[in-house]
Structure 1
Amino acid sequence: MTLLATKSLGLTLGQPLFTDLSFSLEAGDRIGLIAANGRGKSSLLRCLSGALEPTAGEITRARGLKLALVDQNVPDALLPLSLRAATLAALPAEVAEYESWRVEIVLDDLAVPEALRDTPLGALSGGWQRTALLARAAVGEPDLYLLDEPTNHLDLSRIGMLQRWLAALPRDVAVITTSHDRAFLDAATSRSLFLRASASRMFALPYSSARMALEEADAADARRFENDLNKADQLRRQAAKLKNIGINSGSDLLITKTKQLKDRAEKLEASARPAHREASAGAIRLANSGTHAKALIALNEAAITTPDGRALFSTGQKWIERGDRVVILGANGAGKSQLIRAVLAAVQGAEGAVKAAPTLALGYSDQNLAQLPDDTTPQALVSQFANDQASKTLLAGAGIKPDWQARPLGRLSGGQKARLAMLLLRLSQPNFYLLDEPTNHLDIEGQEALQQELCAQGATCLLVSHDRDFIRAVGSRFWQIEKRRLIEVDSPEPFFASELNRAN
């Protein structure tokens, strides 16, 4: 059964986000929607939900279709409500009183602890706020879920819960989801829609397989484009020869033939489409200044504690040497970010069991990008390292267009801030990167660019991430917090498996 179909759908918001988009959604479909930040994913979901009117084309929805759009952010009006009350408020007022039992079932299905159910949404973490929005959608039992970045702010155990919850939905319920988590897309989707300004592509494959198919299709397009241009060039050369012969011989037939060849060449050129080239949202390039120190960081039985002094774990004796890319593994609350902060304090001169080499030059990125004050501008931050014109060029290269460069950072998107943070890291020319969730807000293109740069530069870093593919690509060593100790493990895979299957 077809739940929804689009025909020649297009949307322009300042620039064309997508054009001539046609696809159908069947009951039970699981579609991953993939594009770089700012390329129209959220806007397409809003169009499909009816919240945004497309510029062109049409959307046909099945009669009586119930759909739910799960947005990225909690509306301000819901923040004072408890998680339980916010979920109940999603039911129609006329049934809320005698069908409130649905709320408890949904919260049980989403593994929401009883202790959190009466907590105001404004006091919950971003991950639990996302869960609340999902609960509000689920309580209405929709036929179609439109999920906008549902894995943002979730740790691995909650991502595992989300994957299991999606797999347990009734077989005829459909899902369209955007995500920059490649492993999640592989696990949760069976079709992939690569959204483009023109010539979007759909594959009946999960993300990784679809990505390979997309690259093959783009390569075939490139070959076809070159062949078409070569054929057009040959036709023009033939036309030029016939024209000379026709003029010299006075043959009207040859002159007519010349015109026909020219027309064929023009039509061929007009129909030839260049292979798709994704307009980059900004390259991520890092620098790695030199140091003669062998061990940049030394941990000597450091006691890692919470901000109020409660013991979390002991590090034992460990070192980070040049070229090491160390990933910290551990459940939420185990103390990963506290270890990052302890290393940061040591680099900044604090005395203790964590030591930093004197030649260490730090590049630091906080998971909430707290190093980027909302009231300053991208231009002001980059001008510390370059003159005015160079700053503009650098910012444009990072995907921040000229009209955004003088705006307060508070008005930038999460993706723009993340790329700005990476640009500032590069300009500071560190020899040691301290990265707390660096892929937060980065799209797949940005994640791949960052991981390629870290590996290509032979960078030294200590990092925390929930992105499995990023960890696999970047990590050369793995430290796991287990039973109040920091231990070195050979691979992150056992930890991934344990966390994804862990009950909350």
Structure 2
Amino acid sequence: MITVENLAVEFSGSVLFSEVSFVINPTDKIALMGKNGAGKSTMMKIIAGEQKANRGHVRAPKDAVIAYLPQHLLTEDNCTVFEEAAKAFKQVFEMRAEMEKLNLELETRTDYDSDEYMAIIEQVTELGEKYYQLEEVNYDAEVEKALKGLGFRPEDFQRQTREFSGGWRMRIELAKILLQKPDLILLDEPTNHIDIESVIWLEDFLVNKANAVMVISHDRAFIDNITNRTIEVTMGRIYDYKANYSHYLVLREERRAHQVKAYQEQQKMIADNMQFIERFRGTYSKTNQVSSRERMLEKLEIIEIDEIDNSALKLRFPPSPRSGDYPVTVKDVSKSYGDQVVFKHASMSISRGEKVSFVGRNGEGKSTMIKAIMGQIDVEGTCQLGHNVKVGYFAQNQASLLDPNLTIFQTVDEVAEGDVRTQIKNILGAFMFQGEDIDKKVSVLSGGEKTRLAMVKLLLEPVNLLILDEPTNHLDLKSKDVLKEALRNFDGTLVLVSHDRDFLQGLSQKVFEFKDKRVIEHFETIDAFLERNRIKSIADLQLAK
């Protein structure tokens, strides 16, 4: 059991949260929720021991293992994937090596009665008790199982970690955490860079094999599937619900309705008392009553209403100019990088107004196909855009393409047309740009902020073919809901690559699956495809156990 006692954090005189207390039980699966800036990541870092609180403590048993996966990390560059993952067992290996060293020393020494000899025996005994209490494990097999579950192929195991992108490095770190079998796993946005199959594997692990888990995530399906408790951080305090995310939303609305009612009743009481005080101030017979009510109002603690999501904003794409019947045509396309074949003999045609999804494991060629369609890379075969196609393209590196010299407001204002210009501040607010933020230069924004701004810009441009490659990685739940509703109502053609199942659901009528160097067309909704493959993936997981 891990106890959080009276935590308080303040920055520059501003209180992030104060007097926060709760207990993490051995089997709790906790979603840590709250708006951006509420203090979720800060609280997680404090529990992980990565950051100090101004006041309060985190208490854990002496031998408790707390493992933490931050949003941004780097593994070392001087070892292989397998070697890096095996560092999860570093303490075990060090313990074994120390025992071997001490036993060798005992074999070579002859001062059997000396204090030094007896001290070595005590060390060996103590180490041996700890070591032999450990479950007998085939460490190499465990490393292999974890890496495969997270999407690595056997041929990747001996590759250098420096050859992998940040997303794949995050998976290596995640493998290390899972292999440690910690008492508490802390995960900050773990699904941002892993594909659907790996997310399903991770869900199964966290639900069926992990001890306590605390997770920050904007992937609604993921947190609903793994959590049984929700802690909301809001306005400097917490609310603790024994419920998963979907049930928590219902309970939160009920809580806020009670707050609004209590606030209104309190305001009426204050108004009635103020009226009495004003009416009878100076009246001798009412002096005591007036004084009593004034003292009561001075001591009164005003009821606060929790912050509310103002995501009722309904955002629509501008009407699409009419395109030809087939905005995208791909015929017999193959792509290789040296000896590595990405896909071969792929063909597809996407009709005007059709909404399709590209799905598959990372590295199977989804982004490569999009670059081929956009004419950014050379391929064998034919990739063709149709008549009068105007493309709105959101690449994974879209943020780097913004003009760093413009402000946030200027970036959006230069593409907004018609009535939507009067809503620019509201639209930016829905994507977490508020108040003075809109006057910031793009050059000072974080990567996540630039990604959100690029998405706002895209939402306002009149296009008839939208190609979105992992658009939700840096969007919170509120922003994703705004985007999803806009895409549902988009009257043009949509090509969507995403690993976010909740975001994908209800958005496409056809699926192109990238698998085993092929592109397979499925005439079914993304919902049907995901359900069929979730069942298959879970069956595969059961067989692998």
Q: TM-score range by the shorter chain?
A: 0.7 to 0.9
The match for 2:478 is 445
Match status 1:84 vs 2:119: no
User: Counterparts in 2 of 1:42-81, with a 5 A limit?
Assistant: 42-75=41-74, 78-81=76-79
Say if 1:334 and 1:89 are closer, same or farther in 2 by CA, change over 3 A.
Answer: closer
Say if 1:96 and 1:162 are closer, same or farther in 2 by CA, change over 3 A.
Answer: farther
CA contact (8 A) 2:399 2:447 kept: no
Query: Structure 2: which 5+ runs fail to align?
Result: 101-130, 416-421
Q: 1:320 aligns with which of 351, 357, 364?
A: 351
Match status 1:94 vs 2:123: no
Match status 1:366 vs 2:392: no
User: Counterparts in 2 of 1:149-228, with a 5 A limit?
Assistant: 149-169=189-209, 173-228=211-266
RMSD: 3.9
CA contact (8 A) 1:12 1:55 kept: yes
Q: How far apart in 1 are the matches of 2:270 and 2:506?
A: 44
CA contact (8 A) 1:378 1:420 kept: no
Deviations 1:457-486, CA, capped at 9 Å, x for gaps: 545421111111101143354444576432
CA contact (8 A) 1:395 1:405 kept: no
Query: Structure 1: which 5+ runs fail to align?
Result: none
The match for 2:104 is none
What secondary structure is seen at the aligned counterpart in 1 of 2:485?
Answer: helix
The match for 2:461 is 428
Q: How far apart in 2 are the matches of 1:501 and 1:446?
A: 34
The match for 1:486 is 521
CA contact (8 A) 2:4 2:59 kept: yes
The match for 1:290 is 320
Deviation at 1:73, TM superposition (A): 3.2
Query: TM-score, with normalisation over the residues of structure 2?
Result: 0.77
Deviation at 1:202, TM superposition (A): 1.7
What secondary structure is seen at the aligned counterpart in 1 of 2:375?
Answer: helix
Deviations 1:109-144, CA, capped at 9 Å, x for gaps: 414343222222221244432232123334444221
Q: 1:454 aligns with which of 487, 510, 513?
A: 487
Please identify which structure carries the higher helix content: 2
Deviation at 1:311, TM superposition (A): 7.2
Say if 1:96 and 1:365 are closer, same or farther in 2 by CA, change over 3 A.
Answer: farther
Query: TM-score, with normalisation over the residues of structure 1?
Result: 0.82
Deviation at 1:48, TM superposition (A): 0.6
What secondary structure is seen at the aligned counterpart in 1 of 2:186?
Answer: strand
The match for 1:379 is 407
Match status 1:117 vs 2:157: yes
Q: How far apart in 2 are the matches of 1:120 and 1:311?
A: 20
Q: How far apart in 2 are the matches of 1:343 and 1:74?
A: 32
Deviation at 1:54, TM superposition (A): 0.9
CA contact (8 A) 1:19 1:197 kept: no
Match status 1:104 vs 2:134: no
Say if 1:417 and 1:288 are closer, same or farther in 2 by CA, change over 3 A.
Answer: same
Deviation at 1:265, TM superposition (A): 4.1
Say if 1:458 and 1:500 are closer, same or farther in 2 by CA, change over 3 A.
Answer: farther
Deviation at 1:436, TM superposition (A): 0.7
Q: How far apart in 2 are the matches of 1:317 and 1:396?
A: 36
CA contact (8 A) 2:404 2:443 kept: yes
Q: How far apart in 2 are the matches of 1:162 and 1:153?
A: 13
Q: 1:258 aligns with which of 286, 290, 303?
A: 290
Deviation at 1:29, TM superposition (A): 1.1
Say if 1:127 and 1:371 are closer, same or farther in 2 by CA, change over 3 A.
Answer: closer
Q: How far apart in 2 are the matches of 1:135 and 1:481?
A: 25
Q: Which amino acid aligns with 1:94?
A: E
Q: 1:342 aligns with which of 354, 365, 372?
A: 372
Match status 1:31 vs 2:30: yes
- Of 414-423 and 119-128, more deviation after overlay is shown by 119-128
CA contact (8 A) 2:273 2:293 kept: yes
The match for 1:330 is 360
- Of 40-49 and 375-384, more deviation after overlay is shown by 375-384
Say if 1:51 and 1:300 are closer, same or farther in 2 by CA, change over 3 A.
Answer: closer
Q: Which amino acid aligns with 2:367?
A: S
User: Counterparts in 2 of 1:236-315, with a 5 A limit?
Assistant: 236-243=274-281, 247=282, 250=283, 252-268=284-300, 270-277=301-308, 285=315, 287-293=317-323, 295=325, 297-299=327-329, 301=331, 303=333, 305-306=335-336, 310=341, 312=343
What secondary structure is seen at the aligned counterpart in 2 of 1:7?
Answer: strand
Q: How far apart in 2 are the matches of 1:416 and 1:96?
A: 47
Deviation at 1:499, TM superposition (A): 4.5
Deviation at 1:52, TM superposition (A): 0.6
CA contact (8 A) 1:167 1:188 kept: yes
Deviation at 1:10, TM superposition (A): 2.2
Q: How far apart in 2 are the matches of 1:163 and 1:88?
A: 22
Q: How far apart in 1 are the matches of 2:96 and 2:319?
A: 62
Identity of aligned residues (%): 22
Q: Which amino acid aligns with 1:32?
A: A
Choose 1 or 2 for highest CA Rg.
2
Say if 1:102 and 1:373 are closer, same or farther in 2 by CA, change over 3 A.
Answer: farther
Alignment coverage as a number of residue pairs:
485
CA contact (8 A) 2:8 2:54 kept: yes
What secondary structure is seen at the aligned counterpart in 2 of 1:59?
Answer: strand
What secondary structure is seen at the aligned counterpart in 2 of 1:275?
Answer: coil
- Of 375-384 and 210-219, more deviation after overlay is shown by 375-384
